[in-house]
Every structure is written in C-alpha cells, then in structure tokens.
C-alpha cells in the first residue's frame, strides 16, 4: 500500500545567554499570531538536516552547518493531519538572526525559558519544556493516548 506520506517539520532552537529565539507567525494560514521556533517543512529530496539548514537561511538569514545541529526530540502529533516534527538545537551559527521573511513573520525576539509568550504554539512550548531531558519522543492528539518516551 502506498500513501502520500506524513508531513514532516523541522524546528531549530537558537539559545543565547539563556534566552530562546522565537518568531511570531503571520500571513501563513497556520498558527498565525502565535510564537514558534524558526523552521518549516522537509521538502522532497531533503533530509531533516538539509531542511533545517535551508529554512534557517530563508527565515533568519543565518547559516548553520548540519554537523552543528543536535537532535533534541520528536513530536508525532495529530492536529489537522498526521504530522511529525523534529526539534534540533543549533550549537553554532554564522550571521545575526533577522526577519528574512517579514511577510511570514511579524516579530522576532529572544525570550527567557521561564517567560515564553502566552501566545506560543502549544506543542512548541511542550518541546521547549523538555529540552535538556535528552532525546525524547512525544505522541499527542491521538484518541485515548498521550505518550512520552
């Protein structure tokens, strides 16, 4: 049996002086008005790391080498569809993050882990709460279960 596959997303955590970089989504039709980590979808022919490098260049105008991305965790969620989201940490990058796609992001700011905006995407907030626990997997939104490994 063949299928269209599961949409796969990648989110990158940038941390500086104890603060996390979040961007507020705008004009995308998906979680607009909420803060999230920079990231996007893995495109055909891309690996998760390739997508992360591309998305950071597109969204923030920064360069991250694939070997400077550390796996933090994975969320397998059921929302509008069945989705898998990879969370990576940028250990080093080149350039100063900026709103490189101002039509899709109307704010970019550094936030303390203990003072994230109330208007943060829920599964992103949960992922950020788990960073530091080692690689993890969370399944959410499935009938009758909430699984964390």
Task: Kindly state whether residue 1 falls inside one of the protein's structural domains.
Answer: no
Q: Report the pLDDT value the prediction gives residue 149, as an integer from 0 to 100.
A: 46
Contact 52, 9 (CB under 8 A): no
Task: Kindly state whether residue 71 falls inside one of the protein's structural domains.
Answer: yes
Task: Kindly state whether residue 22 falls inside one of the protein's structural domains.
Answer: yes
pLDDT tier, 92 (very low <50, low <70, confident <90, very high otherwise): very high
Q: How many folded domains does the chain comprise?
A: 1
Cβ-in-10-Å burial (0-12, 13-18, 19+) of 149 comes to exposed
Q: Report the CATH number that the domain containing residue 80 is assigned in CATH.
A: 3.90.79.10
Mean pLDDT of 69-97: 91
pTM of the shown model = 0.90
pLDDT tier, 132 (very low <50, low <70, confident <90, very high otherwise): confident
For residues 38 and 59, what is the distance between their CA atoms, to the nearest angstrom? 7
Task: Kindly state whether residue 3 falls inside one of the protein's structural domains.
Answer: no
Containing structural domain, residue 24: 8-148
């Amino acid at each position: 049996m063949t299928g269209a596959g599961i949409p796969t997303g990648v989110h990158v955590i940038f941390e500086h002086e104890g603060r996390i970089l979040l961007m507020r989504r705008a004009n995308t039709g998906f979680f607009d008005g909420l803060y999230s980590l920079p990231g996007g979808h893995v495109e055909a022919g891309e690996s998760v790391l390739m997508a992360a490098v591309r998305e950071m260049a597109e969204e923030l105008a920064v360069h991250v080498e694939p070997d400077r991305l550390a796996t933090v965790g994975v969320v397998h969620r059921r929302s509008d569809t069945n989705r898998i989201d990879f969370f990576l940490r940028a250990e080093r990058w080149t350039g100063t993050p900026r709103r490189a796609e101002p039509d899709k992001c109307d704010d970019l700011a550094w936030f303390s882990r203990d003072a994230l905006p109330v208007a943060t995407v829920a599964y992103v907030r949960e992922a950020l709460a788990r960073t530091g626990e080692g690689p993890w997997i969370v399944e959410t939104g499935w009938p009758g279960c909430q699984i964390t490994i």
